[in-house]
Amino acid sequence: MRHRIPLVLCSMLPGTVLAANLDLTIEIPRLDVAEYHRPYVAVWLEREDKSVAANLAVWYQQPKKGEKVPAAAAAGAPGGMQGAAANPQGGAKWLPDLRQWWRRSGRELTLPADGITGATRAPGEHAMSFNVADLPAGQYKLVVEAAREEGGRELVDVPFQVPAKDAQVIKAKGSRELGAISLSVKP
């Protein structure tokens, strides 16, 4: 005997057509400088009231294999980036240099955060995808912040709406530390 699942029940299953997705491409530009350091980057979703809806990615210098990160270092501490050689904590010490992210949610995040934190990225384009089906309907901003030792800081935001009525691609561009940012919102 065959059982049929009503269409209403199918719409409540995860991964159905009602799920919204964000596809993000971030370009880290190649800079012509004497001593290049890869930037630390934080990516998050922000509500209209500037509160953080979700942390999506944090790229920073990771500890070497087998190296333990002390709890105090994982929590981060104020100060400027001072070189990898002086950093046995794997770079968490300089996460406060991502100022906006740090003030809004970074200081409360336990690091490393599974599925969010990762190593710094080389110059080039980096693609990521996120399922945002659990976000309440409303206006949001995707925010990308970058900070680089012996470099500058930059923050780029991309406004979008959930749920998206149609598929859309929204583009933004940084001026120095970040290049092109492309956000594809799919209903």
- pTM value? 0.78
CATH architecture type of domain 19-186: Sandwich (2.60)
Q: Are 50 and 103 in contact (CB under 8 A)?
A: no
Q: Look up residue 166 and give its DSSP letter.
A: S
Tell me which residue of 104, 103, 101 sits closest to 60, measured CA to CA.
Answer: 101
User: pLDDT, tens digit, for every residue of 127-171?
Assistant: 999 998 889 999 999 999 999 988 899 999 999 999 888 999 999
Q: How far apart are CA 62 and CA 56, in angstroms?
A: 17
Identify any residues that bridge with 147 across adjacent strands, giving them in sequence order.
40, 153
User: pLDDT, tens digit, for every residue of 60-89?
Assistant: 987 666 655 544 444 444 444 444 444 445
- Residue-wise burial string across 12-47, b where 16 or more C-beta atoms lie within 10 A, e elsewhere: eeeeeeeebebebbbbbbeeeeeeebbbbbbbbbbe
Greater confidence, 176 or 133?
A: 176
What pLDDT is attached to residue 120?
92
What pLDDT is attached to residue 2?
40
Q: Using 50, 70 and 90 to split pLDDT, how confident is the model at 117?
A: confident
Domain ranges (residues) in the chain: 19-186
